[in-house]
Every structure is written in structure tokens, then in C-alpha cells.
Amino acid sequence: MTTQPDLQASRVAKHYGAFRAVDDLSFSVARGSFFSILGPSGCGKTTLLRMIAGFIEPDAGDIHIGGKPMNGVPPNQRPVNMVFQHLALFPMMNVGDNVGYGLARRGVARDEIKRRVGDMLERVSLPGAQDKRVDQLSGGQKQRVAIARSLVLEPTLLLLDEPLGALDLKLREHMKIELKQLQAAFGTTFVYITHDQSEALVLSDHVAVMNAGKFEQVGTPQALYYEPQTPFVAGFVGANNRIAGRATEVNSGVVTVTSAQGLVMPARAMGSVSRDDAVEAFVRPEVARLARDAAALRDAGLPAFAAQVTSLLFDGANSAVLLHEAQSHTEFRVALPQTGEFADLRVGETVAFGFDPQRAVCFAAGDTAHAA
């Protein structure tokens, strides 16, 4: 039995003058999944979300929600609810009235509303909060009320418009986990938009990376991270060292990239790359290995580069070093292992680094083809 997707968009487009905010997009979101749309600001993700919610009508294409066409259906009649960026809780109402608002608008009986609001607040771990004022809640509690207010209506789809954007870092980390748990507990299909790749990767079953009105790639977080299909995805998801150059050799899927500065490095070809193509290669800082002695890398079968440490970027578990490759002076960012081996690393020191060519990726430059 194939379950019908909860959200299906076919060839949806929205233009503002000559600007294509959303450009001929087609995708579907499976029932019960957590789907994120990740992209830089101005990529069209908010426009797309507002079209799904019904605040904006698409210029072309169809949106189906729960199998029903949504063209011309206003937001108050769609089986979709939205959690707004700043949550948009009603300050003139208490928590109970906020959560019960949608039910009251549907004409549900007062006793029934009271019961369902109580149940819902219990499910989001805010039992008995009905009489609290909105401004008495903490940031995390407000978010739970905003989600409860939407989920009490049992929507087919819950849209979330960067609800974590306004929170401070610590709370954001906490709310990320809480959101994922809430989604798992309710089983409602979530469509989440964000510009924060960590939110998208941690939360989602599937992520669509959006750029200039189009999806560059749709896939699991792992696929986006390990198998980026376009240079944009490779550059946007996770940190990456980007090296532009020319393919001087192509050998069974491994390209030898030679940069204008004279760096020669191997990388796995993504899509078709032929000899003499202009290419872009990406090496993740956490893929590269650091060694004091180049022999250790060669013994492991990795290409080794000599480099000088130019700065140490200490950030706890995310610490990294900036290196200048000895011959070409290409700058590389390499993750600092937390084993203590490099605890005494100093700026100016000469070290070696290398990486598995299979885990570095290479694209034909200017390749904006949407391989996905």
C-alpha cells in the first residue's frame, strides 16, 4: 500500500516582476515526515511556505494537500497550520484561549474545547497553564503553546517558519531536540523552513536545499552531507574548503584538480567531469586529517600536503586550524582532533594534512545543472 503524500507541489511558480521567487518547483512530502527547506535568505523559501499556507497564490502550478487541490482555497479553510517566526501568540488572550482559538472558530462546544485544550497542553508538557498570560511564559514554553495552538486542530500539515530564529543559542539547541520529539510524538507532517543548516540536518527526515527559487537537491541529511549533487549544496551544507581549478586528469571517477596557484589534489567526480574542464573541488574540514609527519598519512594511503599553521580557531569540539599549503599557499581549514595530540600546536608550525580522495568532491565549474 502506498500512502499518498501529504503535500504535493507540481510546477509551482511565483514571480515578482522579473524576479523568480519560486521557479517551477515540484516536490512531495511523505505523510508523517519532517521535511525541511534549507536555503539562504532571499532564496524563496518563505514565499514557498506562504503559498502552501495560502497567504500567497502561486502564479502557476498546483499545490495538493492531503490529496486535495488547494488552488483558490483561503488559509482559514486549508488543513494546514503555521507556526510563525515570532510565534504570533495572541497577547490579548491567555494560554487556554490561544490554544482554543481555532476550535472556537470551528464552532466546537465550550466544554469540548476546554477538554481538548487541557489534553493538548498536557501533551506539550504544560499542564494547567490555561490561565497564564502569554508574557508569563518562557521562550520555550511560548513555542510549545504556538505548536499546541496549531496541532489541536489536527492539521494535515504543520508549517514552521524559522521558529527558532529569535531564540538564543542555548535555548535553540534545547528547542531543536524538543521539536523533534514533538514531531515524533504527534506524527504530524512538519514542513520547516530555515537558513540554519544545523537545524535542518538535526531535525529532518528529508531536506531540500533551495537556492534562487529552485531546489538544488532533495535528500536525507546524510545524502546532502556526504553526496552533495551541486557545488551550491557542497558549499552551503556543512563547512567546506573550496578549490577552483582545472581537471588535469580524470581516472575512474577520481579527478586530479590543479588550481591556478599550483595546488594539485585528487577528488571524486560528481556528475560528469572531463579532462581540461574548469572544476570546483570541496574538502570538508572534518574529512581532512592532520599529522605532524607526512609519512603517517602516506602509510594510510592518503595524499599528503605540507602546510604552515596560520591560525588556531579554538571552539571546543568544533576547533579547527587554518593552514597555508606550502607550495600554493592555498588556505585550508582542517578540523582539530580532540585527542590531545595537537593540543600544543602553535601558529607558524609546519604540519602535514591529507584526505581520502573519495571523500572530497569535484564538480564541473559553473555546473548549475540540477542533477537531483
- The residues that bridge with 323 in the sheet, in sequence order, are 309, 332
Stretch that binds another protein, among 91-99, 168-176, 189-197, 269-277 (CB under 8 A): 91-99
- Assess 167 for contact with another protein (CB under 8 A): no
Does 92 help bind another protein (rule: CB under 8 A)? yes
Binding residue (CB under 8 A) for another protein from 144, 149, 172, 333: 149
Residue 85 or 310 with smaller CB distance to another protein: 85
State the minimum distance, in angstroms, from the CB of residue 127 to another protein.
22
Segment 214 to 273, residues that bind another protein, using CB under 8 A: none
Among 60, 88, 278, 326, binds another protein (CB under 8 A): 88
C-alpha cell at 256: 586530479
φ/ψ of 232, rounded to 5, equals -60, -45
Residue 178 DSSP code? H
In the complex with another protein, the residue whose CB is nearer, 143 or 150, is 150
When binding is defined by CB under 8 A, the residue of 60, 90, 242, 313 that contacts another protein is 90
| Complex with another protein: residue 81 or 256, whichever CB lies closer | 81
* 79 versus 118: smaller Cβ distance to another protein: 79
Could you list the beta-strand ranges (E) of 43-79.
Answer: 60-65, 68-69
Closest distance of CB 283 from another protein, Å: 42
Minimum separation from the CB atom of position 104 to another protein (A): 9
CA distance 332 to 323: 5
- In the structure grid, which three cell numbers stand for residue 5, read together? 503524500
Instruction: Quote the least distance from Cβ 81 to another protein, whole Å.
Output: 6
105 vs 275, which CB is nearer to another protein?
A: 105
Judged by CB under 8 A, the residue of 82, 257, 265, 283 near another protein is 82
Tell me which H or E stretch contains 244: strand 241-251
- Is 85 or 220 the residue whose CB approaches another protein more closely? 85
x/- track of binding to another protein for residues 29-68 (CB under 8 A): ------------------------xxx-------------
Nearer to another protein, 88 or 185 (CB): 88
Find residue 193's DSSP bridge partners.
37, 161
82-95 exposure pattern, b = at least 16 Cβ within 10 A, e = fewer: bbeeebebeeeebb
Which residues, including other chains, have CB under 8 Å from residue 344's CB and lie 6 or more apart? none
Q: Does 177 engage in binding with another protein (CB under 8 A)? A: no
Is 16 a binding residue for another protein by CB under 8 A? The answer is: no
105 touches another protein by CB under 8 A: yes
Nearer to another protein by Cβ, of 84 and 226: the residue is: 84
181: helix, strand or coil: helix
Cα-Cα-Cα-Cα torsion 87, 222, 246, 334, nearest 10 degrees, comes to 80
Q: Would you say 153 and 145 are in contact if contact means Cβ atoms under 8 Å apart?
A: no
Give the helix ranges, DSSP H, for the chain: 45-53, 95-105, 110-123, 139-151, 169-186, 197-203, 221-226, 231-236, 294-299
CA distance 244 to 277: 11
Distance between CA atoms of residues 86 and 96, nearest Å: 19
Taking CB under 8 A as the rule, does residue 197 contact another protein? no
Q: How far apart are CA 256 and CA 357, in angstroms?
A: 9
**Binding region for another protein (CB under 8 A):** 53-55, 74-77, 80-82, 84-86, 88, 90-93, 101-102, 105-106, 149-150, 153
